[in-house]
């Protein structure tokens, strides 16, 4: 059983938002939940095609993702958004439109992100070769009071997933028969 709600993953590029959102989506599906995941990279190729990376375009992208999440949540679906969403004011704006909004801040130090980065984008951004790179030359404003904070440099994805799941249970947003989850861990 679950209520409609939005699970909003925010954090820098490479922090683990997509990985965690995919994992929790799979867990919800294993329990028979109605769930939809909006990944920031995928949304930019479809729903927000044509938007650039100016502050105005980033704001519009987040508003669009938020609107879809609001519609889904209002219809009893678990909406999962995984987007950098660098500006606190926009995340807070989206929060005000969604009755059950759960913010998950996926944090990770820049040096670890640069080590993980197979494309070398962080190294280029740190060298000044990429303008407007979030967290380097463009701001990222961490949430002030997220419902969940996970640190992908210190926790395994499974530990982070369990922390998020426990929070959702504590908030009364989910309650599932745990026997479905036993198969997931095999």
Q: Do 12 and 84 touch, CB atoms closer than 8 A?
A: yes
Instruction: Name, in order, each residue with C-beta under 8 angstroms of 53's C-beta and a sequence gap of 6 or more.
Output: 132, 138
**85 is an active site residue:** yes
Instruction: Name, in order, each residue with C-beta under 8 angstroms of 49's C-beta and a sequence gap of 6 or more.
Output: none
- In terms of Cα–Cα distance, which of 136, 134, 135, 116 is closest to 126? 136
Q: Which of 18, 21, 85, 152 is catalytic?
A: 85
- In terms of Cα–Cα distance, which of 37, 41, 34 is closest to 23? 37
Q: Do 90 and 103 touch, CB atoms closer than 8 A?
A: no
What are the two backbone dihedrals, phi and then psi, of residue 155, each rounded to the nearest 5 degrees? -115, 150
Active site (catalytic) residues: 85
């Amino acid at each position: 059983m679950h209520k409609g709600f939005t699970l909003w993953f925010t954090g820098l590029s490479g922090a683990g938002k997509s990985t965690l959102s995919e994992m929790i989506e799979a867990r919800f599906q294993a329990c028979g939940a109605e769930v939809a995941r909006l990944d920031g990279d995928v949304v930019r190729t479809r729903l927000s095609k044509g938007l650039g990376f100016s502050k105005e375009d980033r704001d519009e992208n987040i508003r669009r993702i938020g609107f879809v999440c609001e519609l889904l949540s209002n219809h009893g679906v678990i909406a999962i958004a995984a987007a950098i969403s660098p500006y606190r004011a926009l995340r807070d704006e989206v929060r005000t439109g969604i009755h059950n909004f759960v913010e998950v801040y996926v944090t990770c130090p820049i040096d670890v992100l640069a080590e993980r980065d197979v494309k070398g984008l962080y190294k280029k951004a740190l060298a000044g070769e990429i303008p407007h790179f979030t967290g380097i030359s463009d701001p990222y404003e961490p949430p002030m009071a997220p419902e969940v904070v996970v640190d992908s440099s210190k926790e395994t994805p499974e530990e982070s997933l369990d922390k998020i799941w426990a929070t959702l249970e504590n908030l009364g947003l989910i309650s599932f028969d745990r026997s479905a989850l036993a198969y997931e861990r095999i």
